[in-house]
Structure 1
Amino acid sequence: MVFSSLIFIFVFLPLTIFTYYIVPRALRNFILVVASLIFYAWGEPTYIVIMLFSTVFDYINGLLIHKYKERKTITRLVLINSIVVNLGILCFFKYYGFVVDNINAVFNLGLTAKKLPLPVGISFYTFQTMSYVIDLYLGKVKMQKNIISFAAYVTMFPQLVAGPIVKYGDIAKQLNNRKESLDMFGEGVELFVIGLGKKVLLANNIGILWSSVKALPMNNLSVLSAWLGIIAFTFQIYFDFSGYSDMAIGLGKMFGFHINKNFNYPYISKSITEFWRRWHMSLGSWFREYVYIPLGGNKKGRLKQYRNIFIVWFATGLWHGASWNFVFWGLYFGVFLVIEKTFLLKWFDNKPKFIGHVYTMLIVIVGWVLFEFDNITQGLAFIKVMFGFGTHSLIDGSALYYLYTNALLFIVIILCSTPIPRKVFLSLQSKLKMIGVIVVPIIYMLIVFVSTAYLVNETYNPFLYFRF
């Protein structure tokens, strides 16, 4: 089940909200847990056992760390056990086949690896349960005594399958002492509708262009077609994932939770450093807090700082998938981050802002090629087409057709990837006053209506981050 599905919007969500608000406050976390388990089990009931195991396992680890908090040797063993088991489960399901394939390639063996479907959301909830145990060990949070409250944190369906990654410390107080309100619920509905529009109306439509370009034989691609295609993917993945994050944060507000935002207009960045402060912020924050800083961060000299950056970005790439293209994608950004920290950021200081912006978007767009093509050879071949290497024509009939039929959509998505529409909307809302009270709900209802019409008629409704 995905948020951008009719059964979720018109059946699951209304029933969950209704049940949640009619029961006594003491039972609301229990209702969230039950609803979340139903949501998760909808597509793969078997793997619900793994999530339940992770929940109970790290709940018990929390009890042990609290009980033996004066005995560092025992708590350290509990922490290590938690990390090893959690990462072991994640690696088995996510990287088992990848490891076997690489062993076969290196040693020329014929080992067979059974294809295991990836449990949806395992990369996200594994990091969440680990954050609880690590922070408890470090004394940053208090032990959660109530297993239902802890289960609500781990299994919460709004951000279960694709984030944002919610660290336990960010939500600990809200688990037992949150206050739902009509204003907060309304804000949640607005965010959900905006996210739905991003996903269904923008991501899905521009994604059709990328699917068409990617399906063309590489020899038939023109330079313009290649650029139009990968720019389409650049916006598809942004509106797909940021739209889902908006829906998740909005759903959280409907149930009284404040979840930190995950995107902050990354495509207006003027450096790769800035880009990664704006893109998938919860993942960046997790790696910074639990990997980069424990390794020493930037406090042990330049060389160790660069080493730490490459370790983090190797791990970031590998976290996205069991394929070498993700590893190269991560290290690719690691290289540019090191270059920027060495001299490039200072060089940009005295230059017009548009230079940094053009540089950033060029690096990001090329990076999305590495990200999207599982086959590295094909990805590099696509990059060659983009930059005119070989006998590919500059422009052809297909490219002109793609440009003509998607020109308006490109204008809309470029504008919507900036803060401009939001600023204009808020300005009009404040100036219109009473008129705005009528017009704004109508706009949101139109988004829901048109999105629903698309979901009824269209079969193209992928969600890119489900595979992570």
Structure 2
Amino acid sequence: MVFNSIFFIFCFLPVFMLIYYLVPGKLRNLLLFLGSLIFYAWGEPVYVILMLFSSVFNYYMGTELERLYYDDKKQKLNLVFAIIINLGILVFFKYYGFLLDTFGGITGIHISHPELSLPIGLSFYTFRNLSYLFDIYISKITAQQNFLTFATYSTMFPYTAAGPIIRYADIQEQLERRSVNISRFGAGTELFIKGLAKKVLLADNLSALYAGICSNTQMSVLTAWIGILTFTMQIYFDFSGYSDMAIGLGKMLGFDFNKNFDYPYISTSVSEFWRRWHISLGSWFRDYIYIPLGGNRVSVIKHIRNILVVWALTGLWHGASWNFVLWGLYYGLLLLLEKFVLNNLLDRLPSWLRTAYTMVAVMIGWVFFSQTSFSALGHYLGALFGIGASSFADTTALYYLKTGLILFIISILACRPGLYQRFRRLIQQKPAGALLINLILLALSVAYMVYNSYTPFLYAKF
């Protein structure tokens, strides 16, 4: 089941929310747990067993880690065991084919293997459960003794498929006690509609435009830049749209999830971009990989190593393909360049020029992300800079620029905070007008879902 479907919006969600608000508070975790299993099993009936195993296993390991608090050696061994099991499952389903193909490419020994479908949200709930164990180990939290409460956290459907990576520490109290009321429900509904509109009205149309551009065997320089601008906007509205919907659903259920995006395309440096993009993943790698490796409180050589390790792993987390590793290392090198070479220079530049530099760097990065084969990657990067391009500009480029102009203008405005700040003021001054706008966005989104083919969320496959 997915958020951007007629069935979810008009069948599952209203029925579930009606029951959720009617049952006593002490039964809401049970209802949320069962509803999450139904939500997940709707599209992954077999892999729901894997999700349940993850919940049971990590619940038990959490209690063991706390029980062994005064036995450091045994506690550490149990943590290592839990990490091996969690990552072993992730590697098997997500990376085993990639590892076998890489081994075959190096040795010439090719091992045939069946293609396994990736369980939806596996990377997200694996990292979510690992953060729970890590926080117990460092005594940030105490282990949850009630299995139902932990299972509710582990399987909750708003963030099951594509995050954000919510940490147990952030919602620990809300799992036990939370308030649900019409005001919170209204705020969540508004955020859900905003995310749905981002996905359906912007990201899906940008996706169709980008697919058309990539279908051209020969590109002009201008076509290549229009194409990667299209993907840059598409992935933002697709993923931030999902995050908005997840956070909105959380509010409807009485939870306050931390934001996952903070207008990343207004950043004035690459380091600022990564403080604003996929915030939950960036903070996860910072707290559980970068800082334990020593962070920046080590020698320069080890600091460089730490950054490159974190970013190689960040890239690999996104997919079982070398282009994602290259994408991660590309950002690692950019961050090192900013830290050790460009830091003082960037500070002296005007903000608009720093934003332009950041956007060009990010757009080039999305080429590494979107082109999964080395040949396609090399071809597209070359076309951006005139290598192998048919010309600087051609009629194809002008066609895409003309047909996508209004979409580009709306997208550029919508990825900046000004539009939303005006909307917030409208809510305060004229709530009826804000309600009308939300109803129009919902109606347009539903109409688009009815008359166009379904387009999955990009990050659901990661």
Deviations 1:267-307 (A, max 9, x none): 00111000000000000000000000000000012221111
* Structure 1 position 427, deviation (Å): 3.0
Q: Does 1:314 align with 2:350?
A: no
- State the distance in 2 between where 1:44 and 1:363 align: 37
- Give the number of aligned pairs: 462
Is the 2:189–2:248 contact (alpha carbons within 8 Å) kept by the matching residues of 1? yes
TM-score, normalised to structure 1's length? 0.97
Name the structure 2 match of 1:461: 455
SS state of the match for residue 189, structure 2?
A: helix
- State the distance in 1 between where 2:4 and 2:102 align: 37
Deviations 1:124-151 (A, max 9, x none): 0000111111111111001101111100
Residue segments in structure 2 that go unaligned for 5+ positions in a row? none
Is the 1:271–1:345 contact (alpha carbons within 8 Å) kept by the matching residues of 2? no
Name the structure 2 match of 1:128: 128
Deviations 1:49-97 (A, max 9, x none): 1111110001001111222211112211111111111001001100000
Is the 1:234–1:365 contact (alpha carbons within 8 Å) kept by the matching residues of 2? yes
Pick one of 253, 256, 259 that aligns with 1:258. Answer: 256
- State the distance in 1 between where 2:8 and 2:135 align: 34
Pick one of 286, 289, 294 that aligns with 1:288. Answer: 286
SS state of the match for residue 400, structure 1?
A: helix
- State the distance in 2 between where 1:146 and 1:270 align: 46
Identify the range of structure 1 (68-77 vs 200-209) with the bigger mean alpha-carbon deviation.
Answer: 68-77
> 1:65/1:329 Cα in 2 relative to 1: closer, same or farther (>3 Å)?
same
* Structure 1 position 47, deviation (Å): 0.6
Is the 1:192–1:246 contact (alpha carbons within 8 Å) kept by the matching residues of 2? yes
Identify the range of structure 1 (172-181 vs 232-241) with the bigger mean alpha-carbon deviation.
Answer: 172-181
Name the structure 1 match of 2:416: 418
Is the 1:6–1:455 contact (alpha carbons within 8 Å) kept by the matching residues of 2? yes
Letter in 1 for 2:283: S
- State the distance in 2 between where 1:230 and 1:36 align: 36
* Structure 1 position 185, deviation (Å): 1.2
Is the 2:128–2:154 contact (alpha carbons within 8 Å) kept by the matching residues of 1? yes
Letter in 2 for 1:447: L
- State the distance in 1 between where 2:68 and 2:284 align: 26
State how 1:351-430 maps to structure 2 within 5 Å.
351-390=349-388, 392-430=390-428
Is the 2:379–2:388 contact (alpha carbons within 8 Å) kept by the matching residues of 1? no
Name the structure 2 match of 1:16: 16
* Structure 1 position 351, deviation (Å): 1.3
Please identify runs of 4+ aligned residues in structure 1 that moved more than 4 A: none
SS state of the match for residue 43, structure 2?
A: coil
- State the distance in 2 between where 1:317 and 1:14 align: 37
TM-score, normalised to structure 2's length? 0.98
> 1:391/1:253 Cα in 2 relative to 1: closer, same or farther (>3 Å)?
closer
- State the distance in 2 between where 1:389 and 1:402 align: 21
- State the distance in 1 between where 2:401 and 2:154 align: 44
Name the structure 2 match of 1:234: 232
SS state of the match for residue 42, structure 1?
A: helix
- State the distance in 2 between where 1:462 and 1:223 align: 29
> 1:460/1:61 Cα in 2 relative to 1: closer, same or farther (>3 Å)?
closer
- State the distance in 1 between where 2:376 and 2:206 align: 22
- State the distance in 2 between where 1:177 and 1:420 align: 35
Q: Does 1:154 align with 2:148?
A: no
* Structure 1 position 323, deviation (Å): 0.2
- State the distance in 2 between where 1:147 and 1:462 align: 32
Letter in 1 for 2:167: K
SS state of the match for residue 46, structure 2?
A: helix
SS state of the match for residue 421, structure 2?
A: helix
Give me the identity figure in percent.
Answer: 50
* Structure 1 position 391, deviation (Å): 5.1
State how 1:65-214 maps to structure 2 within 5 Å.
65-214=65-214
Name the structure 1 match of 2:268: 270
- State the distance in 2 between where 1:376 and 1:25 align: 54
| RMSD between aligned residues | 1.0
Deviations 1:378-402 (A, max 9, x none): 1111111111123511222221111
